[in-house]
Structure 1
Amino acid sequence: MTYSFPQRRAAVRPSPVFLAVVAVTVAGGVLAWIAEPNSNLARVGVFLMVVAGWVVTLCLHEFAHAFTAWRAGDQDVEMRGYLTLNPLKYSHPLLSIVLPIVFIALGGIGLPGGAVYVHSHNFSPRIQRLISFSGPAVNLVCGIVMLAIVRLFAPEPFGFAAEPGSGRLTVELLPQAPFWLALSFLAFLQITAFVLNILPVPGMDGYGVLEPSLSYKTRQTLDQFKPFGMLILFALLFTPQINRVFFDSIYWLFELSGVPSYWSGQGSRLFRFWT
């Protein structure tokens, strides 16, 4: 007599929800590429490309945390569905997805989004630091890859045209420009997400990297501030001096790629089609 046992499905399996978000990102990119540069259709393409692309990188960020913990022995992350890249599995959809998108729309800030719960206390300090850093590392890598693509392949997105009758020159978008400007803006958001996440503020990944080095008493004291980490960042960013230093740092990092920082600003302008 022979027996057949069902094979265990691979732990890492992209969910239909994640694949749908990827499809929306691609569709937005196609619209931004083929539509008339100054048309509403191009702006819709930029909006879809940036929003859906941001959700994709948010999923990759949280997946990196979960996958690192899973490889280290935390099997609960698989049971919770963290390895499926489903954005609905990463904490509360409203706080994890909708709120960051609102802040992108309002201020062009790539806020940390979802959250995964791992048993990091069961691991050595080195593994704990690796789990915490893996998420921001994804944002950094995504930003570098996007900027490299723009730097290597993007043509000049702006041209000049004479106004009929006056002869004055006006700046206009060239074909495919919305796509490249949207990709520049998306790269800018990755850099802001990396910098914000890596700050040693309780509740942020940067604090998770630092936490294993702290004494037990210090960790206990700072644990009470973890739920307010995002609020602490808000308060700091609304301080004009800190806000200026923060964005100056982001633009400096952005321009290390050789891509002009105003490209991301123009991408942000196209993204906010309602203004």
Structure 2
Amino acid sequence: MTGAIRRRSLGAAVFPAVVLLGVGAGIAADRGASPVGLWVFVLVLAGWVISLCLHEFAHSVVALAGGDVSVRAKGYLTLNPLRYTDPVFSLVIPALLLAVGGIPLPGGAVLIENHRLRYRWWPSLVSAAGPLTNLLAGIVLTLAAAGSTHDDRITALGAGLAFLAVLQFGAAILNVLPVPGLDGFGILAPFLSPAANRAIAPIRPWAGLALFAVLISVPQASGYLFRGAFALFDLFGGSRGAAAIGQGLFHFWS
């Protein structure tokens, strides 16, 4: 029992620790502490992990509102990433791929018991909650990046926040694609016929992986994704110059 309590306490500390790490990196980047690229890297990576947790938290909150009380018992409302179905594939690998390639792949996964939800369309709301969280995060980060500019000078903090905002917009676009395994398909699935869902079932485990492989290996595909992300970034007043600087600082080793 003591060991279980210790593991729960450790897991509950993960999210606050990541937040503190991100805040500390942001302060260091704003002050121009050397090496500034490292601090921007930590800031963006910590911000990305935080957004993964918030994305899944949004799914869980809407599911709870819809009648799936199991999300509380599963610990999804704690923002503890270790509660995800597979922390390695849901959190670590997306973070590593972001660090290496800058592709905003979806991360965490929570298991929603759809049969508990009150209405047929409620699973669509649950699925939509995640991408909407990324969209909102992108807007907030875009505004924060603009507020971090001092005397028309782009700071390292502002550049890092701008790049993170673009990644959030990219994640929002990617997640609403109607591909099995992504939230976009989850939005549509309740309205498909039983026969259509049965036909799609065999490819569900592989469709998302195939899409991610294309995004990673085909520059044109990821280019379309980032084109859409930058369009949203522009819409909310983002500075492409700041985002470009942030991307360069994030990949400080190259």
Same fold by TM-score greater than 0.5: yes
Matches for 1:140-219 after TM superposition, within 5 Å: 140-155=135-150, 156-157=152-153, 177-219=155-197
Any conservation in 1 of the 2:76–2:110 contact (CA below 8 Å)? yes
Displacement of 1:78? 1.1
Cα contact 1:25–1:48 (8 A) shared by 2 = yes
Q: Which amino acid aligns with 2:97?
A: F
Task: Give secondary structure in 2 for the equivalent of 1:199.
Answer: coil
Aligned to 1:117: 111
Q: Quote the residue 2:227 is aligned against.
A: 248
**Residues 64-121 of structure 1 deviation map (CA, whole Å, 9 limit, x = unaligned):** 1111111222121111111100011112121111211122122222110010001123
2: CA distance, partners of 1:71 / 1:132 = 13
Asked whether the equivalents of residues 74 and 118 of structure 1 are also in contact (C-alpha less than 8 Å), the reply is: yes
Instruction: Name the SS of the counterpart of 2:206 in structure 1.
Output: helix
Aligned to 1:227: 205
The one-letter code matched in structure 1 to 2:53 is: C
Of 200-209 and 96-105, deviating more is: 96-105
**Separation (CA, whole Å) in 2 of partners of 1:43 and 1:243:** 24
Query: 1:266: how far off?
Result: 1.5
Tell me, yes or no, if the aligned pair for 1:204 and 1:229 is still in contact at 8 Å: no
Is 1:80 aligned to 2:80, yes or no?
no
- Give 1:122 shift: 3.5
What residue is the counterpart of 1:170 in the other structure? none
Report what 1:267 is aligned to: 246
* Aligned structure 1 segments of 4 or more residues deviating by more than 4 angstroms: none
CA distance in 2, matches of 1:26, 1:153: 14
Aligned 8 A contact 1:46 1:182 in 2: yes
Corresponding residue pairs, total = 241
Contact 1:203 1:225 in 2 (8 A): no
Following TM superposition, by how much is the alpha carbon of 1:133 offset from its aligned partner in structure 2, in angstroms? Answer: 0.4
What residue number does 1:134 align with? 129
Rg comparison, structure with higher value: 1
Structure number with the higher helix fraction is 2
Structure 2 residue ranges without an equivalent (≥5): 1-10
How much does 1:258 deviate? 2.3
Q: Which of 42, 56, 59 pairs up with 1:62?
A: 56
Moved more, 186-195 or 248-257: 248-257
What is the CA RMSD across the aligned residues, in angstroms? Answer: 1.8
Identity across matched positions, percent: 41
Match of 1:95 among 85, 89, 102: 89
> For 1:54 and 1:35, how far apart are their aligned partners in 2?
21
Aligned to 1:224, the other structure's residue is in SS state helix
Shift of 1:180: 0.5
CA–CA separation in structure 1 for the residues paired with 2:182 and 2:192: 15
